[in-house]
């Protein structure tokens, strides 16, 4: 489904190479986790895949179901089924959360040539999904993420994912800043969406999230490359011993 | 021979083309206004108060023509139950207007106030304007008081059940209209005044508003969309104790607009909110010039002005809060912001505070910037196309000003105008 080949990315404004040849394939129905030291390029990878400005791809490719992602505008990537839950969700003063969700859902439907969702159907769906993430009516009415606590912002990301039902979900440190109960809620939200047609790429620093969302493959990223891949046990190894051993082993 | 005085010459040239309406009880007020005007002279570009806005097309003897804009959309406020008072090119149109009989309010033409001996109107006409000439001169308002051709006296005596809707129709490409309204809100009375329409090729309008203790006046206007129209408007409001004045203006298009608002809070615990949302595209200059004086204890004032500018449009804001000695517990807030949708547009702002009391809370801020890139990417990453995301963020930017409108139906109407403006310009 998601296929990344030898991806090299530098900053547009500076002569700084951040991704130095990333190879990664996520099959439908699987959950891949990426771990790695701070600054190794995990968020950069997620931003480049979703089409944020400021990066230049110098080599390599990224495709979603065969379509060249790097050629598409961010909104086209979203309509093609890509979703990124941001490490730092953005506050948008003046735009109501509900308006935002409905505009997004309908924009994607329109882009795919589907019929827009009626106001009533939308309301029903959003209430139901919000409820299971313990997002109250007030948070739906308020401006997007404005004044939300760290944990509320992360749950709001998962609500968007649940509403948009993307094919390929990238979660960038969705667990950071969550209390134990919120982490469970988020994990349940993710697990509810798991099915054979959908792929997940979960970026995290902690094994704990992976207790709730069981990964099929765990990758270790360091200095702009994936240096090691393995099963869930790799995450445990990182949790217990840090990255030193793995880094040494690769060198 | 006297030395050439360009300012005086320009003023005399303008006056020469106008006739002072003769007779009636306003004669003295008009003569005095003319004397004030001669004394001050019409504004010129060198004048500090006109630093950002060229006054010449507003002061020249003959108005620049303005094409009448064909609009398919139904006019603003059309769906509201309201009392229509219609002016065509600045002249009251009785046939197009409703019967001016509504519970709680009496409305008369300025021309009729002498015959009917409407004292309050006679005593108000030109008075707040004259007072408003200090400390800053507003010669176009004096010209208005002297030469106004028409206008209404609105006497609010109770709870007025529906909005009083002043509609300004523009029919002639060369019309040059001068309207002067006076409004008196009695103690505890409340009304809403709406204004809409392009009015004329050139429009000079003054509204003097006297709100007695505990009175409330809501004012919402949408200035007409004719691309080539020009307007210089003044509102002078005097607020008594515990009174409330809330004014909102939407301006879309129009080649030149100067809206001056002069508010004096003269009674304790009074509240004045003045807000504006302006959207300008291309050859467009919009100027909000506001002067709020706190002269009583525990009064609140808010100025909220938002401008969206593109294709070389210019926005101007000159806003002042003056807190007089003794006006303790003043709560003054002022914000002026512009959203520049391209590099060709500009926003010129001069926010000012002048405070002579020690126990006050006043804040002001002025910003100018482009669409927030981070927010833009966030919206697009959710599948919202760039144009739609721009609209969403633009409406979000304007929201703080539109939220100043208390009535939900009116606010929704204004919002829908902004939405369609944005859609038309995609
Ligand atoms: N716009 C930018 N300007 C300058 N440096 C940048 C920019 N974007 C990324 N970088 C740098 O690229 C490197 C990778 O950053 P990135 O955010 O992708 O790391 P990460 O793996 O997500 O780290 P963390 O675990 O702390 O979230 C860092 O050294 C970062 O400082
Ligand atoms: Mg990161």
Q: What is the pLDDT of residues A50-98, one digit of tens each?
A: 999 999 999 999 999 999 999 999 999 999 999 999 999 999 999 999 9
Confidence check on the interface: ipTM exceeds 0.85, yes or no: yes
Cross-strand pairs, B258: B232, B287
- Look at residue B391 in the predicted model and tell me its pLDDT: 94
Pairing of strands B202-211, B230-239: parallel
Residues with CB under 5 A from ligand 2 (ion): A 42-43, 87
Decide: A42 in ligand 1 pocket, CB within 6 A.
yes
The strands making up B244-252's β-sheet, listed across from edge to edge, are B91-92, B83-88, B164-169, B190-197, B216-223, B244-252, B271-281, B300-310, B330-340, B360-369
CB of A113 within 8 Å of a chain B CB? The answer is: no
CB contact under 8 A, A104 and B395: no
- Look at residue A182 in the predicted model and tell me its pLDDT: 87
- Look at residue B291 in the predicted model and tell me its pLDDT: 98
CB of A93 within 8 Å of a chain B CB? The answer is: yes
Decide: A225 in ligand 1 pocket, CB within 6 A.
no
CB contact under 8 A, B381 and A107: no
User: How far away is chain B from the Cα of A37, in angstroms, using its nearest Cα?
Assistant: 25
CB contact under 8 A, A103 and B392: yes
Closest CA to B98 of B88, B76, B83: B83
- Look at residue B82 in the predicted model and tell me its pLDDT: 97
Closest CB to B375: pick one of A73, A79, A92: A92
- Look at residue A36 in the predicted model and tell me its pLDDT: 94
- Look at residue B23 in the predicted model and tell me its pLDDT: 77
Cross-strand pairs, A3: A25, A63
Find out whether B391 and B416 touch, Cβ atoms under 8 Å.
Answer: no
Residue identified by tokens 């669409």 is B371
CB of A160 within 8 Å of a chain B CB? The answer is: yes
Instruction: Take residue B347 and report the two structure tokens written for it.
Output: 């926003």
Helices B139-147 and B6-16: angle between axes, nearest 10 degrees: 20
CB of A193 within 8 Å of a chain B CB? The answer is: no
Measured CA distances, B337 to A9, B303, B309, B317, B397 (Å): 37, 11, 11, 9, 9
Strands (DSSP E) found in chain A: 2-11, 17-26, 31-35, 55-64, 67-68, 82-85, 92-96, 143-144, 168-172, 199-203, 217-222, 225-230
- Look at residue A177 in the predicted model and tell me its pLDDT: 85
What 3-state class would DSSP assign to B280? strand
CB contact under 8 A, B399 and A164: no
Decide: A230 in ligand 1 pocket, CB within 6 A.
no
Find out whether B388 and B422 touch, Cβ atoms under 8 Å.
Answer: no
- Look at residue A250 in the predicted model and tell me its pLDDT: 78
CB of A13 within 8 Å of a chain B CB? The answer is: no
Residue identified by tokens 């291309």 is B282
Closest CA to B411 of B39, B77, B75, B12: B77
Closest CB to B377: pick one of A52, A91, A111: A52
Find out whether B161 and B190 touch, Cβ atoms under 8 Å.
Answer: no
Site to probe by mutation for ligand 1, drawn from A34, A40, A176 as the one with most ligand atoms within 8 Å of Cβ, is: A40
CB of A191 within 8 Å of a chain B CB? The answer is: no
**Closest C-alpha to ligand 1, atom 22:** A43
- Look at residue B357 in the predicted model and tell me its pLDDT: 96
CB of A107 within 8 Å of a chain B CB? The answer is: yes
Cross-strand pairs, B333: B302, B363
* Residue B300 CB neighbour total at 10 angstroms: 18
* Residues of chain B found within 8 Å of residue A79, distances taken between Cβ atoms: 383
Residue A36, sorted as left (phi over 0), alpha (psi -120 to 50) or beta, turns out to be: left
* Residues of chain A found within 8 Å of residue B397, distances taken between Cβ atoms: 94
Q: Which letter does DSSP use for residue B67 in this model?
A: P
pTM for this model (two decimals)? 0.91
Going residue by residue through chain A, which has 251 residues, state the pLDDT in tens, using 9 for 90 and above: 999 999 999 999 999 999 999 999 999 999 999 999 999 999 999 999 999 999 999 999 999 999 999 999 999 999 999 999 999 999 999 999 999 999 999 999 999 999 999 999 999 999 999 998 888 989 999 999 999 998 899 999 999 999 999 999 999 999 988 888 889 989 998 999 999 999 999 999 998 899 999 999 999 999 999 999 999 999 999 888 889 888 888 77
Please identify every stretch of chain B with a pLDDT value under 50, giving residue numbers as ranges: 1
H helices of B115-170, in order, are 119-124, 127-131, 139-147
Instruction: Take residue B17 and report the two structure tokens written for it.
Output: 């083309």
Q: What is the pLDDT of residues B364-403, one digit of tens each?
A: 999 999 999 999 999 999 999 999 999 999 999 999 999 9
Closest CA to A186 of A109, A196, A169: A169
| Chain centre distance of CA B38 | 24
| Chain centre distance of CA A31 | 12
Find out whether B184 and B158 touch, Cβ atoms under 8 Å.
Answer: no
Find out whether B278 and B288 touch, Cβ atoms under 8 Å.
Answer: yes
Strands (DSSP E) found in A78-224: 82-85, 92-96, 143-144, 168-172, 199-203, 217-222
Burial B127-139, CB ≥16 within 10 A → b, else e: bbbbebbeeebbb
User: How far away is chain A from the Cα of B393, in angstroms, using its nearest Cα?
Assistant: 7
- Look at residue A226 in the predicted model and tell me its pLDDT: 96
Find out whether B149 and B67 touch, Cβ atoms under 8 Å.
Answer: no
Closest CB to A92: pick one of B378, B385, B388: B378
Instruction: Take residue B1 and report the two structure tokens written for it.
Output: 């021979």
* Residues of chain B found within 8 Å of residue A100, distances taken between Cβ atoms: 379, 382, 392
- Look at residue A45 in the predicted model and tell me its pLDDT: 97
């Amino acid at each position: 489904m998601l296929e990344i080949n030898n991806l090299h990315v530098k900053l547009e404004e500076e002569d700084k190479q951040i991704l130095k040849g990333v190879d990664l394939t996520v099959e439908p129905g699987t959950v891949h986790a990426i771990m790695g030291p701070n600054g190794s390029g995990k968020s950069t990878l997620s931003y480049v895949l979703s089409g944020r400005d400021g990066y230049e791809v110098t080599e390599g490719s990224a495709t979603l179901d065969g379509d060249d992602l790097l050629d598409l505008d961010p909104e086209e990537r979203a309509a093609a089924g890509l979703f990124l839950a941001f490490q730092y969700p953005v506050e948008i003063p003046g735009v109501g959360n509900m308006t935002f969700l409905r505009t997004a859902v309908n924009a994607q439907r329109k882009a795919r040539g589907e019929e827009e969702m009626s106001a009533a159907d939308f309301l029903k769906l959003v209430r139901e999904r919000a409820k299971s993430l313990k997002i109250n009516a007030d948070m739906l009415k308020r401006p997007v993420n404005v004044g939300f606590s760290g944990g509320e912002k992360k749950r709001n990301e998962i609500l968007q994912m649940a509403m948009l039902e993307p094919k390929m979900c990238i979660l960038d440190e969705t667990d950071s800043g969550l209390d134990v109960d919120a982490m469970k809620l988020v994990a349940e939200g993710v697990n509810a969406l798991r099915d054979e047609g959908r792929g997940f790429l979960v970026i995290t620093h902690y094994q704990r999230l992976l207790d709730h969302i069981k990964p099929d493959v765990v990758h270790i990223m360091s200095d702009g490359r994936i240096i090691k891949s393995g099963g869930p046990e790799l995450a445990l190894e990182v949790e217990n011993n840090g990255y030193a051993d793995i880094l040494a082993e690769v060198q | 021979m006297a030395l050439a005085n360009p300012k005086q010459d320009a003023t005399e040239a303008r006056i020469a083309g106008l006739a002072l309406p003769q007779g009636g009880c306003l004669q003295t007020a008009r003569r005095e206004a003319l004397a004030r005007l001669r004394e001050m002279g019409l504004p010129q570009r060198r004048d500090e108060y006109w630093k950002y806005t060229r006054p010449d097309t507003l002061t020249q003897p003959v108005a620049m023509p303005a094409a009448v804009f064909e609009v398919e959309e139904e006019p603003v406020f059309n769906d509201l139950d309201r009392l229509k008072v219609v002016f065509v090119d600045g002249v009251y149109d009785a046939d197009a207007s409703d019967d001016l009989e509504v519970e709680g309010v009496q409305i008369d033409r300025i021309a009729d106030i002498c015959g009917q001996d409407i004292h309050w109107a006679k005593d108000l006409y030109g008075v707040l304007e004259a007072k408003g000439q200090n400390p800053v001169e507003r010669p176009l308002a004096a010209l208005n008081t002297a030469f106004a051709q028409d206008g209404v006296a609105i006497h609010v005596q109770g709870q007025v059940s529906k909005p009083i809707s002043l509609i300004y129709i523009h029919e002639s490409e060369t019309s040059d209209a001068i309207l002067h309204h006076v409004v008196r809100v009695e103690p505890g009375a409340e009304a809403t005044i709406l204004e809409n329409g392009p009015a004329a090729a050139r429009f000079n309008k003054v509204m003097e508003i006297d709100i007695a203790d505990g009175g409330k006046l809501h004012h919402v206007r949408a200035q007409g969309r004719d691309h080539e129209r020009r307007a210089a408007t003044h509102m002078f409001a005097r607020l008594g104790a515990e009174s409330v004045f809330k004014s909102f203006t939407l301006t879309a298009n129009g080649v030149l607009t100067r809206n001056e608002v002069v508010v004096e809070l003269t009674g304790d615990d009074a509240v004045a909110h003045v807000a504006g949302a302006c959207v300008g595209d291309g050859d467009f200059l919009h100027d909000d010039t506001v002067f709020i004086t706190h002269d009583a204890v525990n009064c609140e004032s808010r100025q909220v002005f938002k401008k969206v500018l593109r294709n070389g449009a210019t926005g101007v804001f000159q806003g002042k809060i003056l807190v007089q000695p003794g006006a303790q517990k003043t709560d003054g807030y002022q914000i002026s912001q512009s959203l520049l949708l391209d590099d060709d547009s500009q926003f010129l702002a001069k926010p000012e505070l002048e405070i002579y009391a020690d126990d006050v809370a006043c804040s002001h801020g002025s910003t100018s910037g482009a669409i927030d890139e981070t927010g833009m990417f966030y919206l697009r990453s959710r599948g919202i196309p760039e144009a739609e995301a721009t609209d969403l963020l633009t409406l979000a930017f304007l929201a703080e000003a539109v939220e100043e409108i208390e009535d939900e139906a009116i606010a929704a109407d204004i919002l829908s105008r902004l939405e369609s403006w944005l859609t038309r310009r995609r």
